[in-house]
């Protein structure tokens, strides 16, 4: 944490998978941390790393997950307010310990939980992106946009994708861009 905080050449973007906000689920998933330990680490990073952005991974509908346990995950999402989240419905993967477990959460419940989770994660991602409106940020140019060759795309130090126009811009340049609209 101190190294990330100390050096400007280390980007303040941190992928910190939470998986679930419930200790019993974390244990069943084979995670070696509790929700309290996760929050302690998250808060340390947030306090020490200036302008940090966070992404995470979350699985819903893991075997034996109850509604109350899922609600704990929503509380974690709302506490952390992630910039980006990779949300998935549990499905067994061959060769993993979970594959031997009974997949006892109904698909309808998994899908409903995923939709509810995505409402929370999308809300916080939008709030985080809107905070950039009106700011001038540095962007590492990735190249032309995939949708429009007259538009460039690149990433901020917080791993935010930015589409912009300009002249004499090349892949690998670092350019200053004013954020007009967040999506």
Cβ neighbors of 2 (< 8 A, separation 6 or more) are: 48
b/e 143-152 (16+ beta carbons within 10 angstroms → b): eebeeeeeeb
**CB distance 55 to 15 below 8 Å:** yes
Chain centre to alpha carbon of residue 161: 13
| Residue 181 · residue 129 · CB < 8 Å | no
The pLDDT tens digits of the residues spanning 88-109 come to 999 988 888 888 899 999 999 9
pLDDT for res 59: 97
What is the pLDDT averaged over residues 154-172?
Answer: 95
Note the pLDDT tens digit of each residue in 63-85: 999 999 999 999 999 999 999 99
Report whether pLDDT(146) > 90.
Answer: no
* pLDDT over 90 (residue 163): yes
Which of the four pLDDT bands, split at 50, 70 and 90, describes residue 149? Answer: confident
């Amino acid at each position: 944490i101190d190294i990330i905080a100390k050096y400007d050449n280390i980007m303040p973007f941190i992928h910190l998978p939470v998986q679930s906000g419930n200790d019993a689920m974390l244990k069943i998933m084979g995670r070696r941390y509790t929700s309290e330990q996760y929050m302690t680490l998250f808060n340390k990073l947030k306090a020490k790393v200036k302008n940090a952005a966070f992404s995470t991974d979350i699985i819903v509908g893991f075997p034996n997950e109850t509604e109350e346990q899922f609600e704990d995950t929503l509380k974690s999402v709302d506490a952390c307010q992630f910039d980006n989240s990779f949300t998935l419905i549990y499905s067994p993967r061959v060769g993993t310990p979970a594959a031997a477990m009974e997949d006892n959460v109904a698909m309808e419940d998994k899908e409903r939980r995923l939709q509810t989770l995505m409402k929370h994660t999308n809300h916080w991602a939008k709030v985080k992106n809107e905070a950039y409106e009106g700011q001038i940020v540095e962007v590492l140019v990735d190249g032309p946009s995939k949708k429009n060759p007259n538009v460039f795309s690149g990433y901020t130090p917080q791993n935010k994708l930015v589409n912009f126009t300009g002249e004499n811009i090349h892949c690998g340049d670092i350019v200053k861009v004013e954020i007009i609209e967040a999506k």
